[in-house]
Structure formats: structure tokens, C-alpha cells
Structure 1
Amino acid sequence: MVDLHCHTNHSDGALSPLELLARAEEQGVELLAVTDHDEVSGVREVIAASTNSPVRVISGIELSSVWGGVGIHVVGLNFDLDAPLLGEVLELQRQARDARAQTIATRLERIGGEGVLAGALAIARQSRGLSQDAGVRVQLGRPHFADYLIASGVVDSREMAFRKYLGAGKPGDVKCHWPTMETVIGWIRALGGTAVLAHPHHYKMTNTRLRKLLSAFAAAGGEAMEVASGSLPRHKMPWYASLCAEFGLKASMGSDFHAPLGPWCELGKLAPLPDGCEPVWGDWAG
């Protein structure tokens, strides 16, 4: 069983790295990539803890980018965690994420919130089990803002928070601080990794625009696309498999697991890739 897209509480997941590894073992996952958003501290912990585990863990990250005015997530797999460039990449993404968080907070305060940034940061620290004065830098994402809106009584659920304030086209949908998709792909390749287009169905593009995205992705050095993805209905997988063939891309699979409860696909619980797909892990899973 393979799962090459999941998250810990070092980004916007609910489980600690050790809890995620334990869950992967329980679910029978054999090959796992932990792909926190713009962060590798979680996957480092999972790899360190997996020495005697039946789960083989590879390096992973989900990098935020923009293409054609649309926020695009690119998963990097099997790259060098010790490469000096990685530190530079992470710092650039942290700076972009911090600027984005400030913009989101400012926009939410304009529509009636108070102390939004501090409140979201407090929630992010709590999710990591950190004291509010701990000298540890935490990552702030839209789910943390959603949880703050819930705690403040503004909304009843994350779904409502994204529908009204944080989703596509809403005040909290901020993409202007991210690097281009081509830049992100270049980083992953320079780190010796494989660039994978994450959950292509999330972008809600027309078929024509999706093909333009895939053409640009492949031209920039992207090598694979998620065909089996947690929220993608199984009957749509052959269509994405055909796009892989059309653009010379390998196929990846990942649950995008965030938490045991809620609207998340369970870790490792994915349909097999359609016949004819070339698995992205074929050359390095041994």
C-alpha cells in the first residue's frame, strides 16, 4: 500500500509525526511520503522514528505556488533533505507564508474580526502542543484561521469558514505572495526530487485550461500527477490517467490525509492506479 501525500501537525494536520507513523503502520501502508506544506520538520521526525518500522518513509513536501493566477500545489518527493538549497527554499516559503498570513488577518479584521493573527497563531501553537511563549516558529495556514473563526463564534465549522471567508475568491484566498509553479518545480529538481502536481481536480479548471496547466507543468520539468487522490471519485481516475499518458507524466497516489475524523480520506485507503499508469515510485521504491 502506497500513500505519497499526507500531513502532520507541523503544517495543517491533526496528528503528530509519531502518531502519523503509528497510523500508517495500523493501516498497512508500506511506502509513505509525509508532505507537510512548505515544511520538512515533520517528515524528518517520521523518518527518524521509522528505523524499525515496516513502513518505508521517503522525503516529501507540498510547496505552494501560483500559475496563471491560480494557486497550485506541487508535491516534491524523494529529494535530498540535507541539501543546502533546501534551507533557502524553506526560508523563502516561510517568508511568503508569513506575509500571506498577515494579509489574510488584515482582510478578516476588515470584515469584523479582532486579533485574528494572534488568535490563529495561538491555535497553531496549541495544535503542536507548544506553549505560547515557546521559541519555536510555527506554520500558519488557512485551517488555523478557520479554527479561530470557529472559536470566535463567527462560523460553526471549517466548511462554513472556507465557504464564506477563506475559500477560492473569498477575502482569505491570498495567492500573491507565492512563487511561480515553474520556480517551485525548479527547486524540487535541484534538490534531486520528483515534482508531482497535487490533486488536479481541486483547481476546478475546464479541460482546456487543465491541459494548458499540464503542458506548462511538464515543460518546466514536472514529472508526475496525482491520479489516485483522497477526494477524487474513483470513476474519474481513468480520465486523469489518460492525461498522464497525453503529457508524458507518471502517476502518483496520495490520500491528502489530515485527520482521523472529518472530511478526510483515511491514510492509505486509496483505489489502485488504473491500468497503463507508470507509478512515480517505480524507480526508487526498492
Structure 2
Amino acid sequence: MTLINAIGALQYDLHCHSKASDGILTPSQVVQRAVNNQVDVLAITDHDTINGLNEAHQYIQANCLPIKLINGVEISTLWKNTEIHIVGLNIDINNPQLNSLLASQAQCRIDRALQISHKLKKVSIDHAYENALIYAQGDIVSRAHFARFLVDKGYVKDIKRAFKKYLGKSGYAYVSPKWTTIEGAIKIIHQANGQAVLAHPSRYDFTVTKMQTLINYFKENGGDGMEVSQSRQTLEDLKLLAHFANKFGLFASQGSDFHDLNNYLDLGKTQPLPSNVKPIWHNWS
């Protein structure tokens, strides 16, 4: 399998997170780390929010940094009772339909966080929501913030155990989300003049058959691309996802899904895309 990142080619990272959602770095720090890692084109794609993008753009401009920032977002959706993430790239952050959807998603996050906190209180873990808010620093509260609280207070050893024991589907404090649909997310991303990308398709713990069903459903509802090079994958994963991108006529994207250095790949460190796929950025100016 031939890879396409030739000498002199631009380095893309089109999926990462800042403190605006559940990352550990501010948007400015994310940008600076990307520059330090020689990323040329970056998309900050926080969960259901675009609140970090203005800071990131201002930081680049103020410091004359050699990086292009793509406006992005990662929208949470539900499909067959599974949470599926759709990345929007090159979105118009002033689009009213997009902002309306993100406001609705934010309220869903608040409602879910309060229910999680209530369940944790039943097992004598008090003030979980208030503590998660501290970790979120006033922005969107996610399960990752609850997980950091649980680890730091000694309830569990690490993030993985926090999800297994409390926050994941089999966990005591799990609460089913009430996100938008895949087709709804794609529609809104297109209304905001963006491209819709299926995030990390091989990380949903699906069989190969079910993963193909998901990719086909995404394509049939107007999806534009899928992540082929992603965090935590083998070379065989890369080959399989490249095959599916071609099979279903989707552009290929790549992204580290960077949140922090302990649990995720660093910015700009994904494997190059195979040469037989068409990159999502093929016609970007």
C-alpha cells in the first residue's frame, strides 16, 4: 500500500479538541502545539460547539503563525442506539441553523450531565456535576470531565476504568443521550456550507458488516467523506477504511482526535493517507 505524504506535501490534522469541549488545552495552545508539530492545515472540531474557533483564529493572526485553520465541529448523533460522531469541516460559524442545532445539543449535554450526577450521588459520589463543571472551566460538560473528576478524587485508577465502571454503556451512571440524527447533522453541516465527515468509523466496536451498514447509511444521506487515517489504528485498519472510502464513494480525511497526550494521538501524528483514496481537501483553495 502506497502512502501519499510525499516530501513537501502539506500536513493535515482535521479532527482535534480544545478546552471549549473536552480537550485539555486552550484553543490557542492547540494551535501552537499544531505549529510546533509542523501541521500546515488544522481543524479544531470541538464536540457540539464552535466556541473556541474565534480565539484560535485571533491567536494565529496575532502571532503571524504559518498554519491554516479550518472552521470545524464534531456533532454527536444517534444511530441504532449508538452514538456516532459527524465532523463538519469548512463550516460557516455564523449560520443560524447550525447555531440553533448546537444550542439544542448543548442543552442535551446539560440535561444528561445532571442525570449522570444524580446517579453518581446514589453511590455516594457527591457534587459530581459541580466538579465536572470545574474541569470543564465553564464550557460544555461531557463524560470526559466526569471521568477526570473520578480519577483525580481516587474513585477509579484511570479514565478507562471511569468509563467502564460508571460512564460507559455498561457503567452504573450511564445515561443514554438524546442527540440529533445522522441525517439531521449532515443537513445542517451542508446548510452551513460545510462538508460532513464520518468520524473514526472503526472505533464504534462494530462488526465489519455493521460498519459497512453505517458507512452506506451515511453516504445515502448525503455524507461527503470519512476518516481513513485516525487515532489508535493499525495498518490493517487503515487499509480497510481506505477500501470502504472507495467502495462507498467517499472522500478520505485524517485526524488525530487529539484531546490530551495520555489517552490520544498527538497532533499531526496520524499515518499518511493511502495513495488510492481521494482526500477531502482535494479541491480546497
Other-structure match for 1:276: 276
**Superposition deviation, residue 234 in structure 1:** 2.5
SS in 2 for 1:252: strand
1:206-248 alpha-carbon deviations (Å, 9 max, x no partner) = 1111111111111111111100001112332011111111111
Other-structure match for 1:153: 154
Whole-angstrom distance in 2 between the partners of 1:112 and 1:221: 46
Alpha carbons of structure 1 residues 14 and 170: separation in structure 2 relative to 1, 3 Å: same
Whole-angstrom distance in 2 between the partners of 1:253 and 1:282: 13
Whole-angstrom distance in 2 between the partners of 1:146 and 1:106: 15
Alignment match of 1:6 (pick from 7, 11, 16): 16
Which blocks of at least 5 consecutive residues in structure 2 are unaligned?
1-10
**Superposition deviation, residue 176 in structure 1:** 3.3
Whole-angstrom distance in 2 between the partners of 1:67 and 1:171: 22
Other-structure match for 1:242: 243
Alpha carbons of structure 1 residues 183 and 172: separation in structure 2 relative to 1, 3 Å: farther
Whole-angstrom distance in 1 between the partners of 2:235 and 2:122: 41
SS in 1 for 2:52: helix
**Superposition deviation, residue 250 in structure 1:** 0.6
SS in 1 for 2:144: helix
1:243-273 alpha-carbon deviations (Å, 9 max, x no partner) = 11111111000000112x3121110011111
1:86 maps to 2:98 = yes
Contact 1:224–1:250 (CA under 8 A) maintained in structure 2: yes
- Taking the TM superposition and a 5 Å limit, the aligned residue runs for 1:105-124 are 105-124=117-136
1:196 maps to 2:197 = yes
Normalising by the residue count of structure 2, what TM-score does the alignment of the two structures yield?
0.92
Aligned CA RMSD, in angstroms, stands at: 1.4
SS in 2 for 1:64: strand
Alpha carbons of structure 1 residues 80 and 123: separation in structure 2 relative to 1, 3 Å: same
**Superposition deviation, residue 101 in structure 1:** 0.9
List 4+ stretches of structure 1 deviating above 6 A. Answer: none
Question: Which stretch shifts more, 159-168 or 236-245?
Answer: 159-168
Whole-angstrom distance in 1 between the partners of 2:119 and 2:281: 41
Alpha carbons of structure 1 residues 251 and 175: separation in structure 2 relative to 1, 3 Å: farther
SS in 2 for 1:24: helix
Whole-angstrom distance in 2 between the partners of 1:171 and 1:212: 30
Other-structure match for 1:214: 215
Number of residue equivalences:
273
Alignment match of 1:59 (pick from 71, 81, 85): 71
Give the aligned residue type for 1:209: K
Contact 1:166–1:172 (CA under 8 A) maintained in structure 2: yes
Other-structure match for 1:130: none
Other-structure match for 2:29: 19
Whole-angstrom distance in 2 between the partners of 1:156 and 1:255: 25
SS in 2 for 1:101: helix
SS in 1 for 2:280: coil
Alignment match of 2:48 (pick from 26, 31, 38): 38
Whole-angstrom distance in 2 between the partners of 1:138 and 1:14: 12
Whole-angstrom distance in 1 between the partners of 2:49 and 2:19: 11
Give the aligned residue type for 1:182: E
Contact 1:10–1:139 (CA under 8 A) maintained in structure 2: yes
Give the aligned residue type for 2:228: V
Normalising by the residue count of structure 1, what TM-score does the alignment of the two structures yield?
0.91
Whole-angstrom distance in 1 between the partners of 2:218 and 2:173: 26
Whole-angstrom distance in 2 between the partners of 1:42 and 1:139: 11
Contact 2:196–2:223 (CA under 8 A) maintained in structure 1: yes
